[in-house]
Amino acid sequence: MISFLDLKAVNNKYRHEMELAFSKVLDSGWFIMGEELKSFEEEFGAYCGTKHCIGTANGLDSLTLILRAWKEQGYLSDGDEVIVPANTYIASVLSIIENNLTPVLVEPEILTYNLDASLLEKHLSNKTKAILVVHLYGLMANMKDLCSFAKRNGLKVVEDCAQSHGASSFGTKAGAWGDAAGFSFFPSKNLGALGDGGAVTTNDEDLAETICYLRNYGSKEKYVNRYAGVNSRLDEIHAALLRVKLKYLDEDIEIRRNLAAIYNRDISNDGIVKPYEGGGDEHVWHLYVLRVADRDRFTHWLMKHGVATMIHYPIPPHKQKAMADFNKLELTITEKIHNEVVSLPLHTALTASEIRYVAEVVNSYCE
């Protein structure tokens, strides 16, 4: 059986260095907001090409805290609108709702599955204050057009980089294009911890400072609280483990690119739509996502031949019970994507021959 994701095998590569990192933290006796976090923030900020990086407890909190900080700074108020792709993972939308802001769901491009910059104009209102861009499945969104639209209209840009660590377009990395970006280090991500973790990257010093307060009960000085903040910190143990994995991130991305290149080359089946590859370093292949009309039949075929798959994602945010006010929206491209997508196995512990086998099984499927 080719598993969809084998995190034990993926992390085995770093086992020795992780054990050393774990022992170092254990021996230090210091577990929250210490030297490991400080070093990870410096190293990850440098990797992304931003002046500041602030560790948080998870990706959702990273996005939520960015918007919250802009509320504290008076840039955003309750009811302001934030444009967001309709086909994203629901966490992107939840960060907006959590802040009493209004998500404006915009259709993606059917080619890239990323936000369609040509549709922004018609969704603009006098309440629009920001665009939350998602680099879905690891492919950079069209940042040039999205950022220039935002600039023309005085909007902030938040990047949701939960799936795009290390991706770049025109020489600028994911996380360095917008006013701020939220990363997730959920275990399955391209840079994954052994538990939850997240970070904000930004070049905006004031924003970084406000988020530093907010993630720690609104305080930078013990028992002195400037804001009614939250507890959303990246633990020392996770920072230490992530420092190990960060050293190998580019190498791991290269492995993903090589495996995805085999799928791109070998899969040829008229009933299957392959993913857009992007140019240069735009894609880091967090997920390899196909589209197929009769998805259930296709996934059963793969399963019968020993290949596990997943769906990212089966139900779009606007059709979720949690978003009852949006249930009546008709978003045909988003709904088509959600009805047809299938993710194939792609991770750093898979071999080229396993990928070739999956491609063979995909090719043997007849509609």
Count of residues near ligand PLP by CB under 6 A: 15
Q: Residue 59, interface with ligand PLP (CB under 6 A)? A: yes
Give which of 220, 166, 162 is closest to 189, Cα–Cα: 162
Does 44 bind ligand PLP (CB under 6 A)? Our answer is: no
Residue 164 found at the interface with ligand PLP (CB under 6 A): no
Within the chain, residue ranges assigned H as helices are: 7-12, 15-28, 35-48, 59-72, 90-97, 143-152, 205-214, 236-246, 249-266, 295-304, 332-340, 352-364
Segment interacting with ligand PLP, rule: CB under 6 A, options 58-66, 108-116, 171-179, 229-237? 58-66
Contact between 240 and ligand PLP by CB under 6 A: the answer reads no
Q: Is 134 in the site for ligand PLP (CB under 6 A)?
A: yes
Compute the least distance from the CB of residue 331 to ligand PLP, in Å: 17
**CB of residue 193 to ligand PLP, shortest distance in Å:** 9
Phi-psi region of 310 (alpha: psi -120 to 50; beta: other; left: phi over 0): beta
Q: Which of 50, 58, 169, 334 binds ligand PLP (CB under 6 A)?
A: 58
Instruction: Name the token pair of 363.
Output: 């090719």
Output the residue with the shortest Cβ distance to ligand PLP.
59
Tokens, residue 101: 């802001």
DSSP track, 184-197: E--TTSSS--SS--
Q: By CB neighbour count within 10 A (0-12 exposed, 13-18 middle, 19+ buried), where does 275 fall? A: buried
Cis before 313? omega within 30: yes
Using rule CB under 6 A, residue 143 touches ligand PLP: no
- SS percent in the chain: helix, strand, coil, step 5: 40, 15, 40
Q: How far is the CB of 58 from ligand PLP (least distance, A)?
A: 4
Does residue 162 belong to the site contacting ligand PLP (CB under 6 A)? yes
Residue 111 · residue 276 · CB < 8 Å: yes
Residue 273 Cβ vs ligand PLP, minimum distance, rounded to whole Å? 21
Q: How far is the CB of 195 from ligand PLP (least distance, A)?
A: 10
Of these, 18, 25, 53, 60, which contacts ligand PLP (CB under 6 A)?
A: 60
Closer of 92 and 299 to ligand PLP (Cβ): 92
Shortest distance, position 162 Cβ to ligand PLP, whole Å: 3
74 CB neighbour count, 10 Å cutoff: 7
130 forms beta bridges with 82, 156
Binding of residue 99 to ligand PLP (CB under 6 A): no
If you search the block for the tokens 């949690």, which residue do you land on?
A: 322
Considering only 47, 70, 89, 149, the residue that binds ligand PLP (CB under 6 A) is 89
Positions touching ligand PLP (CB under 6 A) are 58-60, 88-89, 91-92, 134, 160, 162-163, 184, 186, 196, 198
